[in-house]
A and B are shown apart, each in its own frame.
Chain A
């Protein structure tokens, strides 16, 4: 490669060398442009959020006033709503998705595996706005008629089911999120479980474990890091999901413990209010919300991918001795 070579070289070879070099630098530039984009987005968010950062300082994170008229902004309700709806979604989605993954890798008849895995992954292809519409016309009426009354009858005394259920609520938003993240968690968990060597299952079975005991005591512990990664990946999805949640969560700047009350998420707030953000400080406050959401989702996704990667590479297992 070095042009300092004292040996005479034919012009054609030199030419080939040059075009090679141009091609390579072009590809290198493109390859660096994508991570560069992340840095640029982060930079823009930061610069645009700077006025709000300066004015409200860290108290932006824990104050609840969101008053465009008085130009006072605090994001606590949407930060709370983002986490509350995502955790509710995980609570519902994780058992479902893990059951699907365990069934498909360990118990299902062979011919059923591909079709079911395919259909579950297809859930991820449905546009978010369709989930939102389905939520409004099917899920909310169903919840109102068949789910909330019995829930209230049994758990009505807890702080989580206070107030009247009007439809748009943390509960509706959390459930729609759960349905949307099931395919991601199920697909990744399935990959993780498939990566668990047969020898581990056989070891457990040969010791007199039943199929389920082998899953519980050998397969799941072996894939634990990857399964946690799958769940965190689902969390990352849930934190950033916008459209369907915006349509169902009620969009109210308020912290309420009750699942039946409307709430707000960071993503929903940005989507709803950006067109109304006329003043500089309003825009800047939304940018700061975006910055928080960006950092949060990037961090969550990074952790998830590292965990999954470790299982897939066998690094979490340490069979280096062989």
Chain B
């Protein structure tokens, strides 16, 4: 596994919400089959950057950007880009679990059905595989007909991860996936992410620096819309080159 290959590259990416500039000149390369953590204080652009990667901003009125983001050396903003295909390749898990009020099974089968990834007879296998990958199968295998919304918060979030995985993405974006969860549920999800990086490229936004240090291979530190520092997690946490990074990770602000 070659960890230096970049699957995603951001080049001088700039983003505005109306007149307010949220991101300044973001350039970085997200390595494949690794976990990249984006850390930084609230309101510093981590989530804005994350949501740029699968073009979730398309629906927000009054926003604009310049610069470029490339997935496998292809611009995701190029005219004629199939946003639907992009979002299938780049899955997303949100801060608050948002399962559909449908049975657990239908939640996971949503993507394969929507994008016609598999013939109907293969769906049950796919659903089981995704739920196993999300370490949820044993807990829900007898509850597949119950609504996804009836599960506990931690289970709901793993269900959302399973739903994203069943869509066969190459990359998984997670926006503070554990912020609504208790420590035990958080630990389960962290273990899960470490397993999933064998197969997927993962980008996780987190406020929790311990979490970033525990699970990630690379870390990007955002501060007031700038990507102040980007490097291996070990380097960023032990030998930060920027004093703001050091101040943040040692807990002097944020």
| Chain B positions within 8 Å of A319 at CB level | 149
The count of chain A contact residues (Cβ–Cβ below 8 Å) is: 24
- How many angstroms between the C-alpha atoms of A294 and B60 in the bound complex? 48
- Within 84-129 of A, Cβ neighbours of B (below 8 Å) are at 110
Contact between chains at B153 and A208 (CB < 8 Å): no
- Within 184-229 of A, Cβ neighbours of B (below 8 Å) are at 197, 199-200, 202-210, 213, 217-218, 221-222
Q: Which residue of A lies closest to B59 (CB)?
A: A205
Contact between chains at A208 and B167 (CB < 8 Å): yes
Contact between chains at B151 and A217 (CB < 8 Å): no
Contact between chains at B56 and A203 (CB < 8 Å): no
A145 within 8 A of B: no
B35 within 8 A of A: no
Contact pattern, A 120-159, Cβ under 8 Å of B = 1, otherwise 0 = 0000000000000000000000000000000000000000
Contact between chains at B88 and A221 (CB < 8 Å): no
Assuming the contacts A208-B88, A318-B150, A321-B149, asked whether A202 and B56 have C-beta atoms less than 8 A apart, the reply is yes
Contact between chains at B101 and A207 (CB < 8 Å): no
Q: Which residue of A lies closest to B112 (CB)?
A: A207
Contact between chains at B153 and A321 (CB < 8 Å): yes
CB-contact partner of A203 in B86, B98, B115, B150, under 8 A? B98
Contact between chains at A208 and B111 (CB < 8 Å): yes
| Chain B proximity of A199: nearest CB distance (Å) | 4
B85 within 8 A of A: yes
Could you count the A-B residue pairs with CB atoms below 8 Å apart for me: how many are there? Answer: 79
| Chain A positions within 8 Å of B88 at CB level | 207-208
Contact between chains at A322 and B96 (CB < 8 Å): yes
- How many angstroms between the C-alpha atoms of A221 and B54 in the bound complex? 25
Question: Interface residues of A: mostly helix, strand, loop or mixed?
Answer: helix
B102 within 8 A of A: yes
- How many angstroms between the C-alpha atoms of A315 and B110 in the bound complex? 23
Q: Which residue of A lies closest to B100 (CB)?
A: A218
The count of chain B contact residues (Cβ–Cβ below 8 Å) is: 35
CB-contact partner of B84 in A202, A203, A210, under 8 A? A210
A40 within 8 A of B: no
CB-contact partner of B94 in A202, A209, A210, under 8 A? A202
Which of A202, A205, A206 neighbours the largest number of chain B CB atoms within 10 Å of its CB?
A206
Contact between chains at B61 and A221 (CB < 8 Å): no
| Chain A positions within 8 Å of B99 at CB level | 203
Instruction: List the one stretch of B38-46, B156-164, B214-222 in contact with chain A.
Output: B156-164
Contact between chains at B96 and A208 (CB < 8 Å): no
Q: Which residue of B lies closest to A199 (CB)?
A: B98
| Chain B positions within 8 Å of A200 at CB level | 98, 100
Contact pattern, A 280-322, Cβ under 8 Å of B = 1, otherwise 0 = 0000000000000000000000000000000000001111011
B91 within 8 A of A: yes
- How many angstroms between the C-alpha atoms of A321 and B149 in the bound complex? 7
| Chain B positions within 8 Å of A205 at CB level | 56, 59, 87
Assuming the contacts A207-B88, A208-B114, A217-B110, asked whether A322 and B163 have C-beta atoms less than 8 A apart, the reply is no
B152 within 8 A of A: yes
| Chain A positions within 8 Å of B111 at CB level | 207-208
- How many angstroms between the C-alpha atoms of A217 and B114 in the bound complex? 9
Assuming the contacts A207-B164, A208-B85, asked whether A322 and B56 have C-beta atoms less than 8 A apart, the reply is no
- Within 29-83 of B, Cβ neighbours of A (below 8 Å) are at 54, 56, 59, 61
Contact between chains at A197 and B98 (CB < 8 Å): yes
Assuming the contacts A199-B94, A203-B160, A208-B114, asked whether A318 and B167 have C-beta atoms less than 8 A apart, the reply is no
Q: Which residue of B lies closest to A213 (CB)?
A: B114
B147 within 8 A of A: yes
- Within 189-231 of B, Cβ neighbours of A (below 8 Å) are at none
Contact between chains at A222 and B92 (CB < 8 Å): no
Q: Which residue of B lies closest to A208 (CB)?
A: B88
Contact between chains at B87 and A317 (CB < 8 Å): no
- How many angstroms between the C-alpha atoms of A241 and B22 in the bound complex? 55
Nearest 9 Cβ contacts at the A-B interface: A208-B88, A199-B98, A206-B92, A208-B87, A318-B149, A203-B98, A207-B111, A208-B84, A321-B153
**Residues on B facing A (Cβ under 8 Å):** 54, 56, 59, 61, 84-88, 91-92, 94, 96-102, 110-111, 114-115, 147, 149-153, 156, 160, 163-164, 167, 180
Between A and B, 19 residue pairs with Cβ closer than 8 Å are: A197-B98, A202-B98, A203-B99, A204-B100, A205-B87, A206-B56, A206-B87, A207-B87, A207-B91, A208-B114, A208-B115, A209-B84, A221-B100, A221-B102, A222-B101, A321-B151, A321-B153, A322-B153, A322-B180
Instruction: Taking A200-B100, A202-B94, A207-B110 as given, write out 4 further A-B residue pairs in contact, using a Cβ cutoff of 8 Å, ordered by the A residue number.
Output: A203-B98, A206-B164, A207-B114, A222-B101
